């Protein structure tokens, strides 16, 4: 066994003394091989205010510190690629500056400074796809994923509702054996525990309120025509499911939900007649002359397909045009 470089043993000792459980030293035959620690921004000791973090792994080379160690950043949370590559190039610089002396503390400090400067999650909320800006109320899960509180509340509420619905489908004797509802992170499915009522009080994401409305561009229209033409060619070859059906395909059946929507809107919507025509939800408007694929007056594809239960007969009795 080679004698350990005193500079290395001193550094490792100091790291363990200061970082305690927050640092992992990997040793082989008592010789330190790698040092690993999760770096957070400086926020006093307030972990709730830390929105970003990254795992630093330093693999010591046999001649370290006279040669540079291999440095790897893993599991970045809340950091975008641009910041990560900036930190990586600063690390490279630091390594060449510090050749010949222990560098791990310097690296931790350098990364921490960067994280403290950008301690606001970058990227988007995975639920609404909008960013985090001033005025947004957002939350960091235990797994370091960020969501607008408003969005996470919607997810958790829907998750619990789906769980209840599935539970009610089970026979009584199975319900008691089913594990209780467990909140989970939408991104990594880790279990989380959040106060949904508190989250729900948060305002919706700022950027989503200012987003421009939907408009059908010329580009989209051109693509629609291409799609329709392709479909028409496949129909002609008999390559489409249910080719004998002159109406729209089964996913597009009229559903009670669609009818309800139209009915609900009628008392305060003077244009209901026109809308029923455009969407074909009312009797008689989805007649066959409009149903050829590619026709601009094709009946609307509007109803959710309700035949996804595997044993059911999809679309039975609910198909719109006959």
Partner 1 sequence: MAALPRRIIKETQRLMQEPVPGISAVPSETNARYFHVIVTGPEDSPFEGGLFKLELFLPEDYPMSAPKVRFITKIYHPNIDRLGRICLDILKDKWSPALQIRTVLLSIQALLSAPNPDDPLANDVAELWKVNESEAIRNAKEWTRRYAMDN
Under rule CB under 8 A, residue 123 binds partner 1: no
Q: What is the C-alpha separation between 156 and 200, in angstroms, rounded?
A: 10
Under rule CB under 8 A, residue 129 binds partner 1: yes
Question: Looking at 27-35, 69-77, 125-133, 174-182, which segment touches partner 1 (CB under 8 A)?
Answer: 125-133
Nearer to partner 1, 49 or 292 (CB): 292
Question: Looking at 1-9, 75-83, 90-98, 214-222, which segment touches partner 1 (CB under 8 A)?
Answer: 214-222
x/- map, 232-271, partner 1, by CB under 8 A: -xx--xxxxxx------xxxx----x---x---x------
Judged by CB under 8 A, the chain residues 287 through 306 that form the site for partner 1 are 296, 298, 300-302, 304-305
Q: Are 41 and 115 in contact (CB under 8 A)?
A: yes
Q: What is the C-alpha separation between 140 and 40, in angstroms, rounded?
A: 13
Question: What angle (nearest 5°) sits at the alpha carbon of residue 143, between those of residues 139 and 147?
Answer: 30
| Structure token digits, residue 225 | 């025509």
- Rounded to the nearest whole angstrom, what is the least distance from the CB of residue 220 to partner 1 in the complex? 6
Q: What is the C-alpha separation between 262 and 62, in angstroms, rounded?
A: 74
Q: What is the C-alpha separation between 174 and 181, in angstroms, rounded?
A: 15
Q: Are 33 and 59 in contact (CB under 8 A)?
A: yes
Collapsing DSSP to helix, strand or coil, 170 comes out as coil
How are strands ordered across the β-sheet holding 23-28? 23-28, 31-39, 53-59, 70-77
Phi, psi angles (nearest 5°) of residue 293:
-60, 140
Residue 61 gets which letter from DSSP? Answer: P
- Rounded to the nearest whole angstrom, what is the least distance from the CB of residue 217 to partner 1 in the complex? 8
Nearer to partner 1, 28 or 241 (CB): 241
Question: Looking at 45-53, 87-95, 115-123, 204-212, which segment touches partner 1 (CB under 8 A)?
Answer: 204-212
Under rule CB under 8 A, residue 174 binds partner 1: no
Under rule CB under 8 A, residue 208 binds partner 1: yes
Rg, Å, the chain Cα set: 30
- Rounded to the nearest whole angstrom, what is the least distance from the CB of residue 262 to partner 1 in the complex? 9
For partner 1, the binding residues (CB under 8 A) are 126-130, 151, 154-155, 157-158, 162, 166, 186-187, 189, 208, 211-214, 216-217, 219-221, 223-224, 227-228, 230-231, 233-234, 237-242, 249-252, 257, 261, 265, 275, 278-279, 296, 298, 300-302, 304-305, 307-308, 310, 314
């Amino acid at each position: 066994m080679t004698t350990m470089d005193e500079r290395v043993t001193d550094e490792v000792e100091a790291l363990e003394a200061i970082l305690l459980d927050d640092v992992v030293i990997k040793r082989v035959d008592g010789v330190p091989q790698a040092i690993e620690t999760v770096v957070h921004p400086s926020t006093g000791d307030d972990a709730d205010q830390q929105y970003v973090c990254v795992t630093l792994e330093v693999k010591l080379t046999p001649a370290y510190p006279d040669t540079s160690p291999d440095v790897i950043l893993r599991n970045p949370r809340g950091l975008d690629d641009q910041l990560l590559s900036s930190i990586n190039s600063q690390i490279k610089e630091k390594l060449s500056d510090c050749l010949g002396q222990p560098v791990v503390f310097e690296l931790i400090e350098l990364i921490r400074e960067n994280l403290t400067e950008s301690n606001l999650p970058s990227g988007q909320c995975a639920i609404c796809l909008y960013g985090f800006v001033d005025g947004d109320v957002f939350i960091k899960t235990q797994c370091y994923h960020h969501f607008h509180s408003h969005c996470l509340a919607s997810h958790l509420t829907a998750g619990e509702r789906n769980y209840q619905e599935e539970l009610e489908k089970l026979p009584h004797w199975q319900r008691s054996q089913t594990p209780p509802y467990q909140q989970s992170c939408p991104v990594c499915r880790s279990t989380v525990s959040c106060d949904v009522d508190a989250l729900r009080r948060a305002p919706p994401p700022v950027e989503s309120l200012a987003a421009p409305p939907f408009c059908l561009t010329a580009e989209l229209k051109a693509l629609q025509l291409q799609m329709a033409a392709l479909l028409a060619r496949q129909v002609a070859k008999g390559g489409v499911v249910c080719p004998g059906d002159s109406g729209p395909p089964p996913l597009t059946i009229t559903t009670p939900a669609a009818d309800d929507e139209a009915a609900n809107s009628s008392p305060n919507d003077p244009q209901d007649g026109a809308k029923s025509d455009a969407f074909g939800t009312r009797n008689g408007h989805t007649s066959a002359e409009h149903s050829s694929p590619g026709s601009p007056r094709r009946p609307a594809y509007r109803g959710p397909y309700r035949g996804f239960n595997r044993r059911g007969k999809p679309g039975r009795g609910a198909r719109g045009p006959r």
